[in-house]
Structure 1
């Protein structure tokens, strides 16, 4: 039984459309470093203050996890070792992160967060100072005034949408903090630096090593102190005996 030519042609066009859409999606190359840097900056230099205020970021804010096209994929990246990455969906291992990203594009593209108006967080890297995290030496490069103005405008729009001052004291404080933490540095004057308010307290290896060393030396200190006190006590007793013997031997 032959297939209706018009129906066959329609199915062919449909398959071609789906194929082209898939190729467009797969060719949407996302700079993996920028996406990772953006989330690192948000987690380290913004969220500690948001959590301290007990503030809930609205889904209208582009920094909300639900608005990131690749957030779920980023969460399913498992970094086991320097040269070993694992897919959290199917547990397949890869030698480098870029191969894992290619695997996501080829095998798990259907799991992208395409609901609503999800977009790539790397689009906000200009406002969030991703270059500072990726390579701080780039800050020494010649400043582009037009880019600084554009990034500052984007930064201020994020502050307005994520922390509307009409939402109360917490939102006003976070709005002010966001401007100081991220937006003020978008200038060619060189006076302001990104993240002046600091961020998440990172574990300092030197501090840990010093603490462990002190814990190991503390018992030794007490032992030496005990021996010193014991010797001093013994010397005192000897001196007393010598003094008593001297008094007894003294002629009357």
Structure 2
């Protein structure tokens, strides 16, 4: 009986040992499958990397909007799409237009209405969720133009006491002159010729180490938003309307009293005489 019990126990333990090895094999296969699946995910993450600084691109576009475009609009000149300064050549332009600042700590995504309490978290949301909307098919990085547009001067990233590099200054000047030639060709008319000269004085002249002219020598002009102008005019009109109504009602209230005073005085005098 003891022998039979031992034999039965051995037979009962054999399938358990076999079954215990199955999870290990399936685990190994699962690890292999996960390893093979993780490779494409890692390649996808590498493929979505954008080698373009968003901060420097924003600085370049801010310079274009404040130190160039108001003068271009004044001359009623249209920049061609081949010009690197055209808004379509900024890969972050569409995302910037879908960014809404609702309140001090309230930013909203224009694509999916997601809220963020800081601007940097909204940019992280753009990078994670709306990367597919970036046009990275060709070179559209505005940060590449920072050398020609003096982004460091606006961002204060370079100390004023730093030594000037003649090679870098010459390279940035060549880039700036190339922008002037491609965006404002002299043979396209008087406005393009004037803007070509303006661009040279505004950006190119400061790229030198022999003397220290400040960039943006022609000054800056911030384009006025018509919505703000209309809002201010509406507030002034409403204010004048209420002041007029207040003064009119006040005059109507004081006028009957002044008119009735002589009449009452005359009645009293008449009664006294009688």
TM bin (shorter chain) = 0.5 to 0.7
Structure 1: gaps spanning 5 or more residues: 1-11, 204-252
CA drift of 1:165 comes to 0.7
CA distance in 2, matches of 1:91, 1:129: 35
CA distance in 1, matches of 2:160, 2:203: 14
Q: Is the 8 A contact 2:91 2:134 kept in 1?
A: yes
Give me the whole-angstrom Cα distance separating, in 1, the residues matched to 2:215 and 2:65.
Answer: 15
Tell me, in whole angstroms, the C-alpha distance in 2 between the residues paired with 1:142 and 1:84.
42
CA distance 1:145–1:60, change in 2 (3 Å): same
**Counterpart-to-counterpart distance in 2, 1:100 and 1:175:** 37
The yes-or-no answer on 1:152 pairing with 2:173 is: yes
2:143 is the alignment partner of 1:119: no
Residue 195 (1) aligns with residue 235 (2): no
Q: Helix, strand or coil: the match of 1:85?
A: strand
1:71 CA drift (Å): 1.1
- Please identify runs of 4+ aligned residues in structure 1 that moved more than 4 A: none
- Where structure 2 has 5 or more consecutive residues not aligned to the other structure, the ranges are 1-35, 225-274
Specify the alignment match of 2:16 in structure 1. none
Report the TM-score, using the length of structure 2 for normalisation.
0.62
The alignment of Structure 1 onto Structure 2 pairs a total of residues equal to 188
Partner of 1:23: 45
Give the root-mean-square deviation of aligned CA atoms. 2.5
Residue of structure 2 equivalent to 1:86: 108
8 Å CA contact retained: 1:126, 1:151: yes
Q: Which residue of 62, 65, 68 corresponds with 2:84?
A: 62
Report whether the alignment pairs 1:173 with 2:194.
yes
Structure 2 distance, partners of 1:48, 1:189, is: 30
Aligned-residue offset at 1:75: 1.5
Aligned in 2, Cα 1:87/1:201: closer, same or farther, shift over 3 Å?
Answer: closer
**By how many angstroms is 1:134 displaced?**
1.1
Which residue number in structure 1 is paired with residue 204 of structure 2? 183
Provide the C-alpha distance between the structure 2 equivalents of 1:175 and 1:133, rounded to a whole number of angstroms: 22
TM-score, normalising length: structure 1 = 0.67
CA deviation digits over 1:61-116, x for unaligned, max 9? 0011111111111222223344433212112122333222221111111111346x
What CA deviation, in whole Å up to 9, does each residue of 1:112-165 have, x standing for no partner? 1346x3511111011111111111763442211111111111111100100011
Q: Distance in 1 between matches of 2:54 and 2:136?
A: 18
